[in-house]
Structure 1
């Protein structure tokens, strides 16, 4: 049987009674209780705080760049929308110049031209200066098209009229004089 060293701790058996050795009772327990408390701020904690701080700074700068880019994109989109409106306006003006009536009106207004067989008149005001014409042709795209009334709405109107005819009073055959009572 192997011999035990007197200061060696006995091994614990699961479920068995625990033995106390003379070294664990009394003075050792007092020194364990009197040991200084563990520090709350350790080196690991300092490294963790440093890493989190670096991440916050890097993400904050990235977030600022992201927000700057978003505002720049919004400005560019607004500029694109404005340019598209300008393009639409110029295309509308070009379509106006393709209209023969508009060309004729511009030639009459700007150059004073008349068609063959017409007589040109110019109205002069009291001050001796010619009066300026104020009527303009509207933009062809801005004139609403008048759509004829659909046939089924006309038919439905006659059905409603037939269902509720207007009551006509029958005329009186004799007129009565008002009584003076």
Structure 2
């Protein structure tokens, strides 16, 4: 009888005419009170080793070639992708820099437009005669003929002095100001 071989060149899993090894009976035990020990490794059957050596014309076992992790096509595709990424990096960086520059220029233009609008409103105010008169009275204390100007000066110390009251004592320095002034005074004393 001819034995059939698998594509990897290995022989059949079982030989014809032979049954599997005799099975051993397994006893089921209650393991709740016993401890589990590791299994002992089985020893190779010496009969099988003699039989394979005794067979004449046995073919040599061949090993199927392992498929490579990265094929040539995958390498070429990866190289092309890396080249494309490197080729598009610089133009993309330039594009993003120009976009930020355009955004800054638009922001500066908006600020200038607002400033121009404010100045235009101010020019419109100065073209009004009443606004000019109000500004002359406020800034330069101008009065119309026949009016008496009255200027109020805010001088609380002078008013207290004229009323005969003693001026208010200055507020006490904070403790760290006093400490710092004493350090400065000690530093400025001449040494003998």
Task: Please indicate the TM-score interval, normalised by the length of the shorter structure.
Answer: 0.3 to 0.5
Could you tell me the TM-score, scaled by structure 1's length? 0.43
